[in-house]
Amino acid sequence: MQNWISHLPDGLADDPLLRTALTHRSAGEPHNERLEFLGDAVLELVVSEWLYRKPSQLTEGGMSRLRTRLVERDALCRVAQNMDLAGRIALSGAHAHPETPSPRVLAGAVEAIIGAVFEYAGWEAAKSFVIALLADAMQHLPENPEDAKDAKTKLQECLARRHKTGPHYRTVSTRGGQFIVHCTAGGVGGVGMGSSRQEAEFSAAAQCLEKLAG
């Protein structure tokens, strides 16, 4: 969503509040941590209400799984990449050295922008902005909440059914902005790669699941 600025409330694009939302703590005051805290709460409430009002009458557990799918760090990192935020975030020191900000920084910036929209223009503006940001992810959300379970959860459940121990994850490498993780579970192993540790763990868990199913 590279046109995200057009979805901001009138005037916010030129307001210092947006600059603050895009300033990491490493770059000094004022930074975006407080806005990130606010945006995290607004994001969860918007998504919770959207799921609650879906015609399918989801269970509490189903809504929780789908909400996690929409608001977890990797999901927000993808949103940040679609917004092309990497070059807009003010960083300093060690945080400024990688070519791409870390998933934590990217996800935090998305939450801070949401917080800035809420602070600047209130609930309805923030709600509309979040729905616009997550429109693609919401459209591709599985109808069955069971399908929203990530590979790590599915692997854990598979091992529990078979009365096996694990899984165990070990980070092998973090070079070049890429994480490589090895997973052992139920006598099999898998290696996953991703732009975050969590993404690499999901990939490794998926490999283990495939081997256990085979």
pLDDT in tens, the chain (214 residues): 568 999 999 999 999 999 999 999 988 899 999 999 999 999 999 999 999 998 888 889 889 989 988 998 889 998 999 999 988 999 886 555 556 788 889 999 999 999 999 999 999 999 999 999 999 999 988 777 766 677 888 898 899 998 888 899 999 998 877 889 999 998 999 999 887 888 889 889 989 988 988 7
Catalytic residue among 74, 111, 150, 199: 111
Instruction: Compute how many other C-beta atoms are within 10 angstroms of the C-beta atom of residue 203.
Output: 19
Tell me whether residue 201 is annotated as binding.
no
Q: Which CATH number is associated with domain 4-142?
A: 1.10.1520.10
Catalytic residue among 40, 74, 199, 201: 40
pLDDT at site 91 = 87
β-pairing verdict for 188-194 and 168-173:
unpaired
Domain boundaries, the chain: 4-142, 151-213
Q: Domain 151-213 is in which class? A: alpha beta
pLDDT at site 148 = 61
Tell me whether residue 44 is annotated as binding.
no
Helices of type H across 72-173: 73-82, 103-121, 123-133, 135-139, 151-161
Q: Tell me, yes or no, if 111 is annotated catalytic.
A: yes
Instruction: Compute how many other C-beta atoms are within 10 angstroms of the C-beta atom of residue 24.
Output: 24
Q: Which of 204, 47, 56, 70 is nearest to 144 (CA)?
A: 56
SS3 122: coil
- Of all helices (H) and strands (E), which one includes residue 177? none
Residues in the chain, how many?
214
| Residue matched to tokens 């895009």 | 22
Q: Which residues fall within 8 angstroms of residue 1, CB to CB, at 6 or more apart?
A: 7, 79, 82, 83, 132, 133, 135, 136
* Tokens found for residue 178: 């890429």
* Tokens found for residue 22: 């895009």
pTM to 2 decimal places: 0.74
